[in-house]
Amino acid sequence: MALFGLELNIVPDDSTIELFRSAVAAKASIPLCPDAPEYLGLILQEKYGVPLIKVSRPVGIEGTGRWLKSIAAFLGKESVAEELHTRKAAETARKLGDFSLQGIKVYISLSSSNAFSVLDLVEELGGEVTGLTITHLDRLHVRHLDELTTRNPSLQIHVSDGQAFEEVSILRKLSPDLYLGDSTHLGQVARLGIPVVSLESLALVGYSGVVRLVRRIKTALANGSYELALAKAASPYHEAWFRRSHNWHIKQEVK
């Protein structure tokens, strides 16, 4: 931000009342994460005239670049952002070396704020997303869904918050090579023998976020002994459940 000659005001996490007050005088606001801040951004825009820059999360190399460039465009400082992005992208590529997720089938199970940006990131790293569990979907996600339908029309999306029994059923059928999730049932996933990376406490944003995630993925893919050990513990679910469609409990109310 300093490069743009801007001061950053982060709300609402760890904020003070003072920071909230100064928020109404900001040049613009931009979300760091989609869903939740939307409301705050809209109120600042409608009631106080602080423009809300709509752009997806700064996750991934291109995603981060796009985010920075949209701020820059707003201020007429495009060249600053271009230069920064080119430099940072090259630096990140150097740090990643020849790492690629080519040939790796990845399953993503995340909250709606994370899922779409991580999906993009996985594809940026060369991986194939074979399935997606997302905690919820609403009108805020229509744009993402439209994009996905074009890019990845056969992708099955499982909408569920914490329904581990459905997810485990899906995973048994799909057998992905890697699972990225942030839920409370990662142990159940891992015992299927799938390498797991938890994104719950991983700082995913920015260029460094990419490097951080890749490091975790490399580690998970390098040694699956814990998953093998977990497989020895019994599954809590009946085998009969897995013979049913995982959508069994979804009521088809609208045809």
Partner 1 sequence: MSHHLEASRNSCALHGALQLFEAIDGVVPVIHSTSGCGVQHYLGVTRLSGGNDTFGSPPVSSSNITQKHVVFGGGSRLREQLKNTVKVVQGELYAIVTGCSTEMVGDDIPAMAREGRDQEWPVIYTNTPGFGGDVHHGYHLALKALIEQLPDIVKSREEIPSGLVNIWGIIPNQDPFWRGNLQELGRLLEGIGLVPNLLLGNGQNVASWQQVPGALLNLFISPWGEFPARLLEERYATPSIICEGVPVGNAASILLRRLTDRLELDPIRTEEFITREESRLNQQFARLADSYYRAGFQREFALVGESAQVIGIGEFLVNSFGMLPRTLVITDNPSESIQEALDSRLMAILPGYCTDVLFSEDQSEIHDVVRAGQPGIILGSSLEQEVAVELGVPFLALSFPLFDRIVLERAYAGYLGAAALLEDLGSAMLAGSKYINEAS
Q: From the CB of 79, what's the least distance to partner 1, in Å? A: 47
Q: From the CB of 194, what's the least distance to partner 1, in Å? A: 13
Omega of the bond leading into 12 within 30 degrees of 0 (cis): yes
| Interface stretch with partner 1, choices 19-27, 61-69, 186-194, 216-224 (CB under 8 A) | 186-194
Binding residues for partner 1, total number by CB under 8 A: 22
65 CB-near residues (< 8 Å, 6+ apart): 81, 85, 88, 89
Residue 31 sits at the vertex; the CA angle it makes with 126 and 206, to the nearest 5 degrees, is 40
Distance set, CA 150 to CA 2, 140, 146, 213 (Å)? 38, 18, 7, 27
Q: Which of 23, 141, 188, 213 binds partner 1 (CB under 8 A)?
A: 188
Residues 203-242 that bind partner 1 (CB under 8 A): 230, 233-238, 240-241
Residue that is written with structure tokens 């679910």 in the block: 237
Residue closer to partner 1 (CB basis): 20 or 248: 248
Q: Which of 184, 219, 223, 247 binds partner 1 (CB under 8 A)?
A: 184
Q: From the CB of 229, what's the least distance to partner 1, in Å? A: 12
Does position 134 interact with partner 1 (CB under 8 A)? The reply is no
33 CB-near residues (< 8 Å, 6+ apart): 57, 113, 114
Instruction: By CB under 8 A, name the binding residues for partner 1.
Output: 162-165, 184-191, 230, 233-238, 240-241, 249
